[in-house]
Structure 1
Amino acid sequence: MRRFLLFFSSLLCVDIAAKILAIRFIPALERGPFPFGGIGIFSGDITFSLNYIVNTGAAWGSFSGYPGVLFVLRLCVIAALLVHLFRSEKPSFSLGLVATGAIGNAIDYCLYGHVIDFFHFTFWGYSFPIFNVADSCITLGVMSLLFFPKPRSLQPS
């Protein structure tokens, strides 16, 4: 359990640090050509830039009109995941990722009243929704649950 907590605490610290840096150093998203007012990393058919944007909703800004409901829902999901993880003999790596991402975004909401997003990809003209490290943890955790349903653990065998 120690390695599990250390790994996911480290991921949470990376998420928090990245968001602090985004607030401090990354320009806000603007309409227009690459890098969209932000910091361009690479361009072409696939572009990647860092653009600061606030998200008052959930994924893709959905449910932005219900911040209180979203916050309570996030807390319930976090509580359920943590209870499950701490009661398990072998905590699930995938659920750990989801919990870490949910905690990271909940911290944003508590501190700022919204979530900080900054990774911006464009694929052949399609602007993918801007996201952050916590969102990546949630996505990887869910994908891992879907494609590898057998529980994976960081605990030694």
Structure 2
Amino acid sequence: MKIMKQRYLFALLAGVGLLATGCSTEAPFKVNASLTAPYITDSENQKDDGQALSERLDDVLDAQIPTNKIKVVVDHYNVLLVGQVASNTDKATAETICKKWPSTQKIFNYLTVNAQPSLNMNSSITSDATKRISMQYDIEPT
């Protein structure tokens, strides 16, 4: 009986030892650097996604509301709409299009209604929008 307990204890300790040494190695996860892609940060990926989303929304809004003067800015999947449209219906349509687009999170609609739309970055209504645009790395508000 004593020998059985010793064998059981030895087998148990050997199993725990093998388990511990097998789990502590990172060997299966190490890959030669020449076989991997260059390191890309999440912020770079997100920047590219934001630019692509901005371009797609620009194209869709131009097609759906041809008389618009809208600038679309995307940051972390939040959409900022700045500019002018011809009617309240166009303003609501622009926001609805952006809300229904996959991956958009929040819509900041700073569109104003004017019968003859023109993009005016200096109006008091768009001062908050201009501040947000100025934080974009690739846009210089004038």
Which structure: larger Rg? 2
* Higher relative contact order structure (alpha carbons within 8 Å, sequence separation ≥ 6): 1
TM over 0.5: no
